[in-house]
Amino acid sequence: MRLTFLGTGTSYGVPMIGCDCPVCRSEDPRDKRTRASALVKAPSGNILIDTATELREQALQNNVTRIDAILFTHTHADHLHGIDDVRRFSGLRRKPIPAYGDAETLAYIVRSHGYIFSDPDFRLGWGIPRIEMNEITEPTAICGATVIPVPIRHGERTILGYRIGGLAYLTDCSAIPETSVPLLQDLDTLVLDALRRRPHPTHFSLSEAVDAIERLKPRRAYLTHMAHDLAQTQTEAALPEHIRLAYDGLEIEVPD
């Protein structure tokens, strides 16, 4: 199984508009971060995690020409508002793409993007995204892999992370409920939110992310959803070897 980090940035992206800090001016391409999203190449298809704002750009940059399923973590704009670009992928497949999320997320998408679901006579053809919504509450077979929804806290709300084989992907995370900890044992790879150095009410800070990683003890971990105060080279130099900063376009192999 292969994971591609399509985007690793916070909701503002990096560089941030109107900012001339060292990271926003950095010439290191790893410091250029689009909104957080990922692609999992599973045994029988490609699973997209979130439709980030720059989905079209991310797909072109990483030569993504096929999506077979979508996992939604939650409804915030940076994780959802690239959804219209799904029309190209459903059009290429010539069939709807199954999407998964919790009930709150699915209901919100239907309300906020009603045009996607209001053409039962197919008058608009493949000119709109064709998506089939599926609530996920338990381990589910998707693209030849078992996908396990992992409830996590994002400030005051509960959203979903996902475990697929030896991989867990937990973006926009400020706390991991004790009931979810058993779902995160014996991980090969943990992808975890680390917004910035200072505390934040709805995201792990860098130190909080490191503490959570040390508690869960995966073989390795990658940090994502990072703001512009975490420079790639300097930040990694102070981290343990098994914890790295992800970057846009990074590909890693993970056991199924």
pLDDT tens per residue, range 96-120 = 999 999 999 999 999 999 999 999 9
pLDDT tens per residue, range 117-126 = 999 999 999 9
Number of domains in the chain: 1
pLDDT tens per residue, range 141-177 = 999 999 999 999 999 999 999 999 999 999 999 999 9
- Between CA 130 and CA 110 the distance in angstroms is 12
- Between CA 224 and CA 169 the distance in angstroms is 9
At 120, which CATH number? 3.60.15.10
Confidence of residue 17 (pLDDT cuts 50, 70, 90): very high
pLDDT tens per residue, range 197-235 = 999 999 999 999 999 999 999 999 999 999 999 999 999
- pLDDT-above-70 percentage for the chain: 100
pLDDT for position 181: 98
Average pLDDT, the chain: 97
CA dist list (Å): 123 to 115, 119, 204: 12, 7, 45
pLDDT for position 256: 84
Q: What value does the mean pLDDT take over residues 29-45?
A: 98
- The residue range of the domain holding 112 is 2-253
Spatial CB neighbours of 97, under 8 Å, sequence gap ≥ 6: 67, 68, 69, 70, 86, 89, 90, 129, 130, 131, 132
pLDDT for position 23: 97
